[in-house]
Amino acid sequence: MINFKSIIAEELTKVTNITNIEEYIEIPTNKEMGDYSLPCFKLAKELKKAPQAIASEIKEKLNIDKELISKIDVVNGYLNFYVNTVAITKSVFEEIEIKKEQYGSDEIGKGKNIVIDYSSPNIAKPFHIGHLRSTVIGSALYKIYKFLGYNVIGINHLGDYGTQFGKLIEGYKRWGNEYNINENPIDELTKIYVRINDLCKEDENVLEECRNNFKKLEDGDQYCTEIWERFRELSLKEFQRIYDLLDVHFDSLNGEAFYSDKMDEIVDILDKSGKLVESEGAKVINLDEKNMPPCLIKKSNDSTTYATRDLAAILYRARTYDFDKALYVTSYEQILHFKQVFEVAKLLGIDEKYTDNLIHVPFGMVQLKTGKMSTREGNIVKLEDLLNEAIDRARKIIEEKNPNLENKEEVAKNVGIGAVIFNDLYNSRIKDEIFDWDIMLNFNGETGPYIQYMFVRTKSILEKVEKLPLVSEIDFNLLKDKHSVELISEIYKFNEVLKQSAEKNEPYIISRYLINISQLFSSFYNENKIICEDEKLQNARIYLTYCTNIVLKTGANLLGIKMPNKM
Ligand code: ARG
């Protein structure tokens, strides 16, 4: 595709001798001010002249192909560039004709490895709505990076280790046969856990037994290991139902337990660094200098911690995946944890290219609009129930709007789940998310169903023509009206939007973009008759509809949203 920005920059460099001038070029928010703009006050110091004079002078000397940039204006010290609409249309259409569903993809990530640690629920505990956010954000990032050419490794760092398993094993030993853990593993294991915990509070001896169990588990005792494996397997089976609903995948399920035999090395390295100190019987790394509380490496009872396991994971991931970036997607409650761990990781003796590229990707909390959701046990919402409720609600809406629709079940699933995912990804991730069914399922709002609905429109228009026109036969001069031009220049930006989203680890940049495309398409469609008498005009408009269709589908799929063909 033609890179208008670089072309402008190249010509500007010839005139000004400023080599990095591309960095100064902006994209005006107001379309009236052109497609690109150079704020000349930024050059005033360097060139020792008033911005307006600089702008006029540069304009005089510039020699840019009119077929590419049709107009250059000087306004208030800005130099505004207007891209030739025929050139941009031709460029976008030709690119989409060749790349189709791959439009927007890139090779910037070629040869680079990205590790993404996401979802990571704790076994034998409910998969809660915070884990849903981690799952949805992580999985979107996974797809976005992949589309940009990176080699991505998705890791579900399961919380399958820790002293609580000593307790669970004890509870199971005592009352296992009273609970049907095959049927409802997480509910039943949670009950066992609550009961044994209560008992521990009453009876020190029981607590001691639990500690022993964990010790035995660490030492590879057969009985304890077998039960633990069963808990893990049953929990995973239950989590899998949620992953299936969301269509989320992982390359590795190496959770915390995987590192149980890899922590001695960590303690050893830290010890040798001279920084590991005793504190009240525990072993810690002091982080006073960094204004953080100490990082606990070994508790006074000699057991390791969540942080130690994360350190072992860093070492393992550096060695195994040789990562260029390692992302951790969790709620902002863990900001301090990762700051500490990333600081201590510098003592592990691995290359800085690893420790400089450990990135925590935090997100905000989910606020439930109470009274509207079936909650069990106070505020703990069972996630599977919630996703099924989304599907039920979508089914009801479809039943009202379009009772004769084929494949109703599949559409309800795509719309319901799509609504939840989109809602999760609609704001900058650090913002708290409001979970409100009416908002996220509003077909006319800034929602998943809205972009699906626009996609379905493009699809039904495209079905009206027998076959897609060839780009070589299209007269681009027929798409010069405001609505077409705006839609085309937005489609042109797709790859840039994806790169920005990856750079900031912010899928919402894509969600907002898809809303923009949908709204622009809606205006284009309302103002222009697409299927019409004039064959040439129809062909041009059909092709633009096709381009919209491609971008909506590819963009939504990158977020994890599936597009129905009808709804
Ligand atoms: N299991 C943790 C939790 O539920 C999240 C783990 C995140 N990943 C990590 N490497 N620490 O809070």
Q: Whose CA is nearest to atom 5 of ligand 1?
A: 120
- Tell me what pLDDT residue 303 has: 85
pLDDT tens digit sequence for 324-367: 999 999 999 999 999 999 999 999 999 999 999 999 999 999 98
Q: Cα-flanking dihedrals φ and ψ of residue 93, to 5°?
A: -65, -45
Over range 518-547, report the average pLDDT: 97
Over range 259-276, report the average pLDDT: 97
Asked if residue 310 has its Cβ within 6 Å of ligand 1, the reply is yes
Asked whether 134 and 171 are in contact (CB, 8 A), the reply is no
pLDDT tens digit sequence for 189-237: 999 999 999 999 999 999 999 999 998 998 899 999 999 999 999 999 9
- Compute how many other C-beta atoms are within 10 angstroms of the C-beta atom of residue 29: 7
Of 76 and 380, more confident: 76
User: How big is the CA angle at 321 (ends 429 and 358), to the nearest 5 degrees?
Assistant: 40
Q: Which CATH architecture has domain 384-559?
A: Orthogonal Bundle (1.10)
Nearest to 373 by CA among 390, 356, 351: 390
Domain ranges of the chain: 4-83, 162-247, 384-559
User: Quick check: 374 pLDDT over 70?
Assistant: no
Over range 294-302, report the average pLDDT: 92
Q: How far is CA 382 from CA 84, 129, 375, 386, 561, in A?
A: 54, 8, 7, 6, 21
Asked whether 366 and 130 are in contact (CB, 8 A), the reply is yes
- Count CA atoms closer than 13 A to 240's CA, side-chain side: 8
**What does the alpha-carbon distance between residue 268 and residue 246 come to, in Å, rounded to a whole number?**
41
DSSP state of 373: S
Q: Cα-flanking dihedrals φ and ψ of residue 113, to 5°?
A: -105, 130
**What does the alpha-carbon distance between residue 64 and residue 26 come to, in Å, rounded to a whole number?**
18
- Kindly report the average pLDDT of the chain as a whole number: 94
Asked if residue 119 has its Cβ within 6 Å of ligand 1, the reply is no
Q: Cα-flanking dihedrals φ and ψ of residue 144, to 5°?
A: -65, -50
Q: Whose CA is nearest to atom 3 of ligand 1?
A: 121
Tokens 């095959």 sit on residue: 182
User: Quick check: 133 pLDDT over 60?
Assistant: yes
Percentage of residues in the chain with pLDDT exceeding 90? 90
Q: Which CATH architecture has domain 4-83?
A: 2-Layer Sandwich (3.30)
pLDDT tens digit sequence for 401-443: 999 999 999 999 999 999 999 999 999 999 999 899 999 999 9
Say how many residues make up the chain: 567
Closest ligand 1 atom to Cα of 159: 1
Angle between the 535-559 and 129-147 helix axes, to the nearest 10 degrees? 130
Q: How far is CA 77 from CA 4, 19, 38, 39, 73, in A?
A: 21, 20, 9, 6, 10
Burial (CB count within 10 angstroms: exposed 0-12, middle 13-18, buried 19+), residue 198: exposed
Asked if residue 330 has its Cβ within 6 Å of ligand 1, the reply is yes
Report the chain's C-alpha Rg in angstroms. 28
Q: What is the DSSP string of 148-159?
A: TT-EEEEE---B
Q: Are strands 78-83 and 151-155 parallel, antiparallel or unpaired?
A: unpaired
The set of catalytic residues is: 125, 128, 131
Instruction: Name the residue type at position 375.
Output: T
- Tell me what pLDDT residue 371 has: 45
Where do the H-state alpha helices sit in 286-334? 306-321
**Side-by-side strand order, sheet with 358-363:** 151-155, 113-117, 325-331, 358-363
Asked if residue 156 has its Cβ within 6 Å of ligand 1, the reply is no
Percentage of residues in the chain with pLDDT exceeding 70? 98
User: Quick check: 380 pLDDT over 80?
Assistant: no
Asked if residue 157 has its Cβ within 6 Å of ligand 1, the reply is yes
What is the band of 377 on the pLDDT scale with cuts at 50, 70, 90?
Answer: very low
Handedness of CA 177, 183, 189, 195 (dihedral sign): negative
Q: How close is the Cα of 286 to the center of ligand 1, in Å?
A: 23
DSSP H or E stretch at residue 191: helix 185-202
- Tell me what pLDDT residue 465 has: 95
Nearest to 186 by CA among 126, 242, 135, 232: 126
User: Quick check: 373 pLDDT over 50?
Assistant: no
**What does the alpha-carbon distance between residue 515 and residue 561 come to, in Å, rounded to a whole number?**
14
- Tell me what pLDDT residue 370 has: 59
